[in-house]
Amino acid sequence: MQVGETQWSAPERKIANNALEIACQRETDALIREVRKGVGELNAIEDLWRLHDFLSARRHYIDGKYDDSEAGIVFVLAGLVKEGWLSMDELDGLDEAKLAKITALNRFF
Amino acid sequence: MQVGETQWSAPERKIANNALEIACQRETDALIREVRKGVGELNAIEDLWRLHDFLSARRHYIDGKYDDSEAGIVFVLAGLVKEGWLSMDELDGLDEAKLAKITALNRFF
Q: What is the ipTM of this complex?
A: 0.82
CB-CB: which of A43, A49, A55 is closest to B51? A55
Cα–Cα dist B6/A3, whole Å:
70
What does the pLDDT read at residue A81? 96
Residue A92, SS3 per DSSP? strand
The answer to whether B55 contacts A52, with C-beta atoms less than 8 Å apart, is yes
Considering CB atoms only, which of A43, A52, A58 is closest to B56? A52
pLDDT in tens, B12-23: 999 999 999 999
Give me the pLDDT at residue A5, please. 60
Least Cα distance to B41 among A25, A57, A32, A41 occurs for: A32
pLDDT at A1 over 60: no
CA A60 to CA A53: how far, in whole Å?
11
| pLDDT tens-digit map of A6-29 | 789 999 999 999 999 999 999 999
Q: Residue B4: pLDDT above 90?
A: no
Residue among B104, B101, B103 at smallest CA distance from B4: B101
With a cut of 70, say whether residue A30 has pLDDT above it. Answer: yes
A45 touches chain B (CB under 8 A): yes
pLDDT digits (tens, 9 = 90+) for B64-107: 899 888 888 999 999 999 999 999 999 999 999 999 999 999 88
pLDDT at B1: 47
| Closest alpha carbon within chain B to A45 | B28
Flag whether residue B42 sits within 8 Å of chain A, measured between CB atoms.
yes
Chain B residues with CB inside 8 Å of A36's CB? 39, 42
Radius of gyration of chain B (CA): 17
- Which of B52, B63, B65 would you mutate first to test chain A, the one with the most A CBs within 10 A? B52
Q: What is the mean pLDDT of chain A?
A: 91
DSSP B89: G
Helix axes A45-63 and B45-63, enclosed angle (nearest 10): 130
Per-residue pLDDT, averaged over A43-47, amounts to 92
Considering CB atoms only, which of B48, B56, B58 is closest to A35?
B48
**Distance (Å) from the alpha carbon of A26 to chain B's nearest alpha carbon:** 10
